[in-house]
Structure 1
């Protein structure tokens, strides 16, 4: 039996009361759920996973050409390649034993987290960018709008309640590589509105979440993507919805690749929490979080609150 609720996006989009009730409970109790009937093509996902795995197998000096020091956007830590032990998601755990490559939505104008990016080309990483941007389009134009409106409905708000702050949403899109037997990502919460995660199907789970007072292993579920809520949504809803702590402990004999979409509101959005409370801005929240991860090495989201 799955350890988390399994929710159909098709049923949510159709406004089925049972699915909306299931979503409401998942968002208030678990902060994580499996999403099925999402419309993302399995063949595209597999090509993306394969292309990412091939990139991570390249010699380290080639990958380092696309590191943070060469990224032209602001902050430069929002794009490009990071090698093993380059990111700290929890200060007590120290740097994570993983590699990752970040994309975003590339827009002109110089706003934070909007690009441009220096990424590996077709010569070094055949098909990687094509797959990444194709799946990005599907997630941001098809899946996320329906899911966002369903969350509003589950809160008994108008379906479009969040839409005004997502006219040009902000995205950190990541492919991560965990080496066989020793991959790690420290305990943390995600900082944004929500995250969609695609896990490489492996026999044993590597992702762990803290839900209902205990740490739970979260296996892959064939055909599903994982959704977890972020700190901004918890704050936006005055704690009605929960952003759940999680970590990766990868001990399997083969490497693991995952594909994540960390979704935030418009970078210039000023958000007033539902029911009252101090407003906050997307840019300030994101910049503070990136400073905590990359400059102060104090971890991601609410990592400092996690033992």
Structure 2
């Protein structure tokens, strides 16, 4: 009987120890892992790069090397006994402070990778956009050898659509290894949505004939505006000129027409040299946009300020002086440009 009692007591103690061990293991799996920053990195999240063909044991070691303060053996055992170790996906992962071993494994199995980002800026030309995509880290340059026409075809744009200005300036996230065509496709779709939404709200008396003209005018407004508040007034000047058949006479279109040969100094002979984009020698809008306009410029082109101004000149502080008559405009030029040059 005593031997039986000792067996029962011993078995109970073993069971209690097993329960406590399981509870401790469960607590460990669910508890946040302390994090340290590897050499050369600041505090906060750590980057874990999981290479293809790495074993669960190697991945556990990589996690510790990346900055997670955890036993690599325990982490490997969790990977192993979870049953999901073979489902871990290669990729780059950002591990936030407070992540538990369970959450880490789920992140690796789901392929919840760190997303890289590329920012496209208002007023950029297509050439600048393509250069930025070429510099973007871990973005596959599938479009690098394509012409503008081939690029537009590859992203599914309507046949004959000019590429310039057709991408909405914004910040786009992508998984490492993504194609640059995927980013371009999203940026093009974003511009189309916004362009059509603004065009649908145009006033009945707008001189703009279609969304393409709206986009072209918005691109000029984008390049001509130093301050957000001036956009509706800049738009009013160009809309007023379009209504009376007066040339737009805007320098950014001339500069665009000069292309890469422009050296930063716009000369009188440039204003007199006729090109499809020279709005001094030709009336109306140029044949295509000259840059990527943002939302505010799109809206200004449709809803210009109520103004009879036909002229404006830069004041030198980012703002513009608007005038209704040529005489007033000439006085503003004397004050803000010729006077500034004399000083």
TM-score, normalised relative to structure 1: 0.25
- Bigger radius of gyration: 2
Structure richer in strand, relative to its length: 1
TM-score, normalised relative to structure 2: 0.23
Which structure ranks higher in relative contact order (CA pairs < 8 Å, sequence separation ≥ 6)? 1
